[in-house]
Amino acid sequence: MRTSPFQNKLLRNLDASAIERLDLRPTTLPLRQELESPGKLVNNLFFIEDGFASMTATFHDGAQVEVAIFGYESVVGTSALLGIKRSQNRVYMQLRGHGFYCPIKAARKEFELHARFHDLVLRDAQAQLTTARQAAGCNARHEVEERLASWLLLCAARARSDNFTISHEFLAQMLGSTRPTVSIAAAALRHRGLIEYCRGSMRILDHERTEQRACECYHVLRAHFGGSTESDGGSTF
C-alpha cells in the first residue's frame, strides 16, 4: 500500500502524476493570515496540512459570522474552479499551521481533466454546502451554549487538538452573538466540567459529555461525514 507524504486528505487521495501537475508549493500559515478576501481574485488553492481556517460572511459594519471551517480534510478556493473568479467571503487562519498552495491555473487544468481531482473537489464543495446549510439553521434555532459546544468539537476534529487560543470576543463573532452572551455560555460549559479556559486559551476536557451538550447540528454533520473513509476522499470526524 502506497504511503502518502501528505496529511491533507484530498492530496492523500491523488496519484503522483496529479500531484506533479498541481505544481504544489509549501507554505506556512500564520494565525489570521487571509487565504481569501471578499471581492478579490482567487489566485491559489490552499491545502491545509496542520491548523484550520474559517470562512466568514462579512458585513458593512465590520461584523462577521462563520459559515464554514477548513482543516486537513478540505481545500480552500474551490469556488474558483466552479466559475466564481472573485471570492465572496473572507477565509483566514484561526489556528496557525502549514500546508501547500497551487496556482489556480494549474488547478483549473487538472480539474478540467475530469479525473480524480475533479471528483474530489466536487465532493468537497458539496461538503462545504452541507456545512453552511446546517450552520444557517443552527444560528437561527439553537442556544449559544449548545452552539459553542458544537463549534469547539468541530474545530477539535479539524485541528486534531483539544486546545485553542481564542478570545471570547472572537468567539462571539464566529457564533454571530455578543461577547457577554458567549462568556456566559463558556462559563456554563466550564461549570459543567466540559472545558477550561484562561487568558484566551481554551481546552476541551470531556469529549463525550461535550457531545451530549452540543446541539443536534453537530450530530447531523458527524453522521453525514462520519460514514466517509479516507479511501474515498471523504471528510471524517
Instruction: pLDDT band for 2, please (50, 70, 90 cuts).
Output: low
Strand order from edge to edge, sheet including 201-204 = 163-165, 201-204, 195-198
Q: With cut-offs at 50, 70 and 90, classify the pLDDT of residue 85.
A: confident
Among the listed ranges 77-81, 103-107, 134-138, which one has the minimum average pLDDT value? Answer: 134-138
Distance between CA atoms of residues 175 and 147, nearest Å: 7
| Mean pLDDT for all residues in the chain | 88
Out of 114-118, 140-144, 172-176, which region has the weakest mean confidence (pLDDT)?
Answer: 172-176
Q: What is the average per-residue pLDDT within 150-178?
A: 84
90 versus 58: which is more confidently predicted? 90
Whether residue 117 contacts residue 109, with contact meaning beta carbons closer than 8 Å, is answered with no
Confidence of residue 141 (pLDDT cuts 50, 70, 90): confident
Domain 9-139 is found in CATH 2.60.120.10? yes
Give the CATH architecture of domain 143-214: Orthogonal Bundle (1.10)
| pLDDT of 228 strictly over 90 | no
- Three cell numbers, residue 127: 461538503
* Among candidate residues 222, 225, 65, the one with its CA nearest the CA of residue 139: 65
Is the distance from CB of 91 to CB of 53 less than 8 angstroms? yes
Q: Residue 226: which pLDDT band, with cuts at 50, 70 and 90?
A: low
What is the mean pLDDT of the segment spanning 190-211?
A: 92
- Note the pLDDT of residue 229: 35
Buried b (16+ CB within 10 A) or exposed e, 45-72: bbbbbbbbbbbbbeeeeeebbbbbbbbb
- C-alpha span between 147 and 187 (Å, rounded): 14
Q: Break the chain into its structural domains and give their ranges.
A: 9-139, 143-214
Residues near 110 by Cβ (< 8 Å), separated by ≥ 6? 18, 21, 22, 117, 118
Are the C-beta atoms of 104 and 23 separated by less than 8 Å? no
Q: What is the mean pLDDT of residues 176-185?
A: 90
Query: pTM, whole model, 2 decimals?
Result: 0.85
Give percent of the chain above pLDDT 90.
Answer: 55
pLDDT in tens, 20-30: 999 999 999 99
